[in-house]
Amino acid sequence: MKTIKRILIANRGEIAARIIRTCKEIGIETVAVYSKEDTDSQHVLLADKAVCIGPAPAHLSYLNVGVIIEVAKANQVDAIHPGYGFLAENAGFVEKCEEAGIIFIGPTADNMNLMGNKIAARITAKRAGVPVIEGTEGSLEDTASLSEDELDFPLLIKASAGGGGKGMRIVNNINEMKAAIQEAKKEADAAFGDSSVYIERYIKNARHVEVQVLADSHGNVVHLGERDCSVQRRHQKLIEETPCIFIPNEMKKKIYKDAIKLCKETDYTNAGTIEFLVDMDRNAHYFIEMNTRIQVEHPVTEMVTGIDIVKEQISIGEGKSLSVKQSDISFAGHSIESRVNAEDPDNSFFPSPGLIDKFIVPSGLGIRVDTFCYSGYKIPPYYDSLIGKVIVVGKDREEAINKLRATLSTFVISGIKTTIPLHMKILENRDFIEGNFNTKWLEEAFAESNEKVSVN
């Protein structure tokens, strides 16, 4: 068991700033790494020390394993926290940390190889008796071995690595297959350095429900409830909430049980998220993947449980037991998160990097804003467009929706376009308010001519 006194954060943006806040709270020094383009980013300003690791392109900076390890050694850090994205689910990076005697705050390389890779995760889930969607057993290299008679369209091509909707394509017939596979492989390789993809049956009108888990190296595993992440655009989550009002308690218990079962099957450690699809008739749930890292949407879980997931990650990394048992965990209220992106929803979500003139963050009881931006900050064009997350908690879903709507209306961002107007329309939409939505709802609610959400 080793006490962590200094952590290098191998990431950028809001997640890096968020990790730094917890480190400061528990008295841990932080070392930030940044690209030249991120010199003025908030995580650089907040960390105890910051080191430039290269030019803007991620493969020359945030994905440069050798440089990051060298910086970690030079600054005598005890551990590295990867956040999400970039190297967060890279088993090779975990092994390099271990070789350097540095704690990786996350699961083991074996965990990642089993569950971070979606193909291996499907095989593992089937072995554990957890239901999965029918699909190919291994990586798909080309269409030569595929017969139209054997394929049940529509199908979903998925990258075996990473997440965030990258490397995913819906295919409706055999004629679309070849181009879709090549596009998915190219996008996956650029995002994760792994071009492998596979195919599974596409379930229409499903709900995306995930379970947050924590597991230590002593065999203890707990779940922190579920999140409904069904409001998506092109497989990218826009709004997440907990609890999920769609599924009954008996199904929730089954999903929790399967999530815990998978963790125990793989001797999983640290934080993770088990993702499921639930059909619209609530007849079945299917395991789709596990995110072997902290999630973008983890704050909604923190808001209803009062558990700091990053703090637990660090403690687990030190070799300690979980600070809570399942019987200790309770859920209070309803929490919703809105992801704010620098995009123009009235112009096909075209990216909107540039100088922020004004950035006034809302505050109040039950309101949390995770961001790395500020007035006068220039958003670079090289990275993910997420600039902040607005999270609220209310006594019930109605209060949470009203609070999030009021909070977004007082979030002042000028100089760039953001998705806040879109979120306001979603929160006023009757289907959303009544809970009548699925993973394709948002796209289908858009008018093709102007891609604006209709408000009924």
293 classed as catalytic? yes
Report mean pLDDT in 10-residue bins for the chain, 456 residues: 96 98 98 98 98 97 98 98 96 97 97 88 93 83 56 87 80 89 90 86 92 98 98 93 96 98 96 96 92 97 98 98 98 98 94 97 98 97 96 98 98 98 96 95 66 39
Of 212, 232, 243, the C-alpha closest to 341 is 232
Look at residue 148 in the predicted model and tell me its pLDDT.
57
Token pair belonging to 444: 């289908």
Q: Which domains does the chain have, with CATH numbers?
A: 6-105 (3.40.50.20), 134-201 (3.30.1490.20), 207-444 (3.30.470.20)
Look at residue 455 in the predicted model and tell me its pLDDT.
35
- Identify the residue whose tokens are 């399967």: 258
- Residues in Cβ contact with 291 at an 8 Å cutoff, skipping those fewer than 6 apart: 84, 89, 116, 163, 210, 272, 273, 275
Look at residue 175 in the predicted model and tell me its pLDDT.
87
pTM of the model: 0.92
Alpha helix ranges (H) inside 102-248: 109-111, 118-127, 174-192
Q: How far apart are CA 119 and CA 287, in angstroms?
A: 12
Look at residue 192 in the predicted model and tell me its pLDDT.
77
Q: Which residues of 414-452 are buried (b: 16+ CB within 10 A; e: fewer)?
A: ebbbbbbebbbbbbebebbbeeebbbebbeebeeeeeee
Of 255, 241, 256, the C-alpha closest to 334 is 241
Of the residues 207, 233, 293, 368, which is catalytic?
A: 293
Look at residue 443 in the predicted model and tell me its pLDDT.
87
Look at residue 152 in the predicted model and tell me its pLDDT.
81
Give the helix/strand (H/E) hosting 391: strand 386-394
Look at residue 150 in the predicted model and tell me its pLDDT.
60
Q: How far apart are CA 448 and CA 426, in angstroms?
A: 17
Look at residue 249 in the predicted model and tell me its pLDDT.
95
